[in-house]
């Protein structure tokens, strides 16, 4: 059924009755923030010092970002340290620098199977992914194009759930079947993302073109081939995107979408439901939308400061100070991309990415903008450290990833879907681990702080 605009607007309308119900809800929604302290609640599943609350064990990935020292009283203190991200015990920086031309497939193989593949194993793995990189007949027409997306993440999520209907064994959670499903979703995530974007363009009145992925190309190459009308890309462009995919493929078991995947997987549900839940988590701007927030912040800076003043430290410091004071920008008081929830001294992913930011900026003649980014990074970190009393502050990879995607000509609607194209590798590895090593339903506890009351018969209420 296709609704007309009038019906659609009526369906989405906030009526006076809804507003009244909202006010009714607000009266009972308040929880005194002091109660969180009293009940020792770990807000965000984090200790006061920022360390994550330990909720499980994994062999898939590890983050090292600080050292813990104990003083003479027995109190523990967090000491900033250089950050390292390991996939199956191997530093991701070594994977990027040592893999040769394209590294994402090698990283995905490592995350799933726990060992670096030899050439024959990697070729076989890439061939397996290529054989799965196709959607069912008429899937694009019937599932994606007939319901053009308003948000690509929701369309991808719907596509993943619909693939359940094409699977003869969708609820089979045997290791071999779940592995097949994870590989198929890994292969088709970039296809779903690009086809959803092309459908969005078409629904906006632009020309429709659909390119099939090429079996001999990497994930990064196929992504650019399917996105661009002329199907052309440079080696530097594909390599930069490939590195981004490697660095986002996993981030330990504690990030929100991977933890969501663990929680949902622990119920024993099917692969499509678990991955769809992870996608829903990733869509949230607090998780998958950070690079978009950086780009919006940089747009605001460019609009407020003339290009001939981008090198003026005093002008930039004045603007960034006003932003921190919530006087300009989006009113959040935040400098997006500066600081990280886990890394203290540096984000190792960002350090790897800098090389490709610099090379792309030179190739695309965007050096002046890169200089602005570097100035904002340097001044912004200094201001934040002064205000927060910190000796070190990490620049998040998201500070630069949006700029890289922009230089690659990727539309902003695809920034979070690119994250999903990469993170599906880690989600698959963690799902396999949870199903066959976890063994228990993940069920945390919430303390109810509502007072106990007696039931009041209808005739005595509101009196």
Assess whether 384 and 427 both reside in one domain: no
Assess whether 256 and 395 both reside in one domain: no
Per-residue pLDDT at 1: 36
What is the per-residue burial (b if ≥16 Cβ within 10 Å, else e) of 210-249? ebebeeebbbbbbbbbbbbeeeebeeebbbbbbbbbbbbb
Q: What is the distance between the alpha carbons of residues 295 and 302, in angstroms, rounded to a whole number?
A: 10
Annotated active-site residue 452? The verdict is: no
Residue 39 lies in a domain: no
Q: Which of 242, 340, 347, 430 is catalytic?
A: 340
269-301 pLDDT, tens per residue?
999 999 999 999 999 988 888 889 999 999 999
Assess whether 390 and 427 both reside in one domain: no
Higher pLDDT, 27 or 202: 202
Higher pLDDT, 49 or 10: 10
314-358 pLDDT, tens per residue?
999 999 999 999 999 999 999 999 988 888 889 999 999 999 999
Residue 424 lies in a domain: yes
Q: What region does 82 belong to: left with phi over 0, alpha with psi -120 to 50, or beta?
A: beta
- Burial class of residue 413 in the structure, from the number of CB atoms within 10 Å of its CB (0-12 exposed, 13-18 middle, 19+ buried): middle
Assess whether 319 and 363 both reside in one domain: yes
Could you give the 3-state DSSP secondary structure of residue 271?
helix
pTM score, two decimals? 0.92
Contact between 393 and 384 (Cβ < 8 Å): yes
- Burial class of residue 377 in the structure, from the number of CB atoms within 10 Å of its CB (0-12 exposed, 13-18 middle, 19+ buried): middle
257-271 pLDDT, tens per residue?
999 999 999 999 999
Q: What is the distance between the alpha carbons of residues 237 and 408, in angstroms, rounded to a whole number?
A: 6
Assess whether 178 and 227 both reside in one domain: yes
Residue 80 lies in a domain: no
- pLDDT of 107 higher than 50: yes
Q: What is the distance between the alpha carbons of residues 47 and 70, in angstroms, rounded to a whole number?
A: 16
Contact between 167 and 181 (Cβ < 8 Å): yes
Annotated active-site residue 40? The verdict is: no
Q: What is the distance between the alpha carbons of residues 196 and 362, in angstroms, rounded to a whole number?
A: 31
Mean predicted lDDT score pLDDT of the chain: 91
Residue 163 lies in a domain: yes
Assess whether 258 and 124 both reside in one domain: yes
Domain that holds residue 360: 290-407
212-238 pLDDT, tens per residue?
999 999 999 999 999 999 999 999 999
Assess whether 257 and 354 both reside in one domain: no
Assess whether 403 and 416 both reside in one domain: no
Cα–Cα distances (Å) from 290 to 149, 163, 404, in that order, read: 21, 29, 14
Q: Which of 82, 167, 214, 287 is catalytic?
A: 287
Residue 451 lies in a domain: no
Assess whether 273 and 179 both reside in one domain: yes
Assess whether 332 and 434 both reside in one domain: no
Residue 247 lies in a domain: yes
Annotated active-site residue 287? The verdict is: yes
Contact between 404 and 356 (Cβ < 8 Å): yes
Residue 57 lies in a domain: no
Assess whether 344 and 203 both reside in one domain: no
361-392 pLDDT, tens per residue?
999 999 999 999 999 999 999 999 999 988 88
408-436 pLDDT, tens per residue?
999 999 999 999 999 999 999 999 999 99
Q: What is the distance between the alpha carbons of residues 422 and 108, in angstroms, rounded to a whole number?
A: 9
Q: Which CATH number does the domain housing residue 392 bear? A: 1.10.230.10
137-194 pLDDT, tens per residue?
999 999 999 887 789 999 999 999 999 999 999 999 999 999 999 999 999 999 999 9
| 86, containing H or E segment | strand 76-87
DSSP tag of 142:
I
- What share of the chain in percent tops pLDDT 70? 97
Residue 114 lies in a domain: yes
CB atoms within 10 A of CB 70: 9
Whole-number CA gyration radius for the chain: 24
Q: Which CATH number does the domain housing residue 250 bear? A: 1.10.580.10
User: What is the spatial order of strands in the sheet that 90-91 belongs to?
Assistant: 61-70, 76-87, 90-91
Per-residue pLDDT at 2: 44
- pLDDT of 8 higher than 60: no
Domain count, the chain: 2
Assess whether 229 and 263 both reside in one domain: yes
- Nearest Cα residue to 195 out of 216, 207, 210, 215: 210
- Residues across the chain: 463
């Amino acid at each position: 059924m296709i609704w007309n605009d009038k019906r659609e607007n009526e369906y989405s309308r906030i009526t006076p009755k809804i507003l009244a119900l909202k006010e009714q809800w607000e009266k009972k929604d308040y929880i005194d923030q002091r109660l969180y302290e009293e009940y020792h609640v770990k807000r965000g599943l984090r200790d006061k010092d920022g360390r994550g609350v330990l909720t499980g064990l994994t062999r898939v990935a590890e983050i090292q970002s600080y050292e813990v020292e104990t003083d003479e009283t027995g109190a523990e203190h967090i000491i900033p340290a250089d950050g390292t991200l390991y996939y199956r015990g191997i530093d991701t920086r070594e994977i990027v620098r040592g893999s040769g031309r394209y590294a994402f497939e090698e990283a995905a193989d490592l995350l799933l199977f726990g060992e670096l593949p030899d050439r024959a194993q990697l070729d076989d793995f890439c061939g397996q992914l290529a054989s799965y990189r196709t959607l069912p007949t008429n899937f694009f027409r019937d599932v994606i194009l007939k319901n053009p997306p308003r948000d690509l993440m929701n369309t991808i999520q719907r596509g993943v759930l619909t693939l359940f209907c094409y699977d003869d064994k969708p609820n089979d959670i045997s290791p071999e079947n779940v592995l097949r499903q994870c590989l198929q979703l890994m292969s088709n995530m970039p296809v779903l993302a690009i086809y959803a974007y092309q459908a969005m363009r078409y629904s906006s009145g632009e020309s429709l073109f659909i390119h099939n992925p090429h079996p001999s190309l990497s994930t990064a190459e196929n992504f650019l081939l399917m996105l661009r009308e002329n199907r052309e890309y440079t080696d530097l462009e594909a390599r930069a995107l490939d590195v981004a995919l490697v660095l986002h493929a996993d981030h330990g078991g504690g990030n929100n979408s991977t933890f969501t995947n663990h929680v949902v997987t622990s119920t024993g549900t099917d692969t499509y439901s678990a991955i769809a839940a992870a996608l829903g988590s990733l869509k949230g701007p607090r998780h998958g939308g950070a690079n978009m927030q950086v780009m919006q912040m940089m747009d605001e800076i460019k609009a407020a400061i003339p290009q001939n003043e981008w090198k003026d430290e005093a002008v930039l410091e004045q603007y960034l100070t006003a932003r921190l004071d919530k006087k300009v920008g989006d009113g959040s008081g935040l400098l997006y991309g500066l600081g990280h929830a886990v890394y203290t001294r540096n984000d190792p992913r960002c350090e790897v990415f800098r090389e490709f930011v610099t090379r792309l900026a030179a190739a695309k003649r965007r050096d002046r903008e890169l200089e602005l980014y570097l100035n904002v990074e340097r001044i912004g970190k200094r201001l934040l450290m002064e205000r927060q009393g910190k000796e070190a502050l990490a620049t998040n990879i998201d500070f630069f990833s949006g700029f890289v995607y922009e230089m690659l000509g990727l539309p902003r609607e695809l920034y979070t879907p690119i994250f999903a194209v990469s993170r599906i590798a880690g989600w698959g590895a963690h799902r396999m681990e949870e199903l066959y090593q976890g063994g228990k339903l993940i069920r945390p506890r919430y303390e109810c702080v509502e007072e106990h009351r007696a039931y009041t018969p209808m005739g005595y209420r509101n009196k």
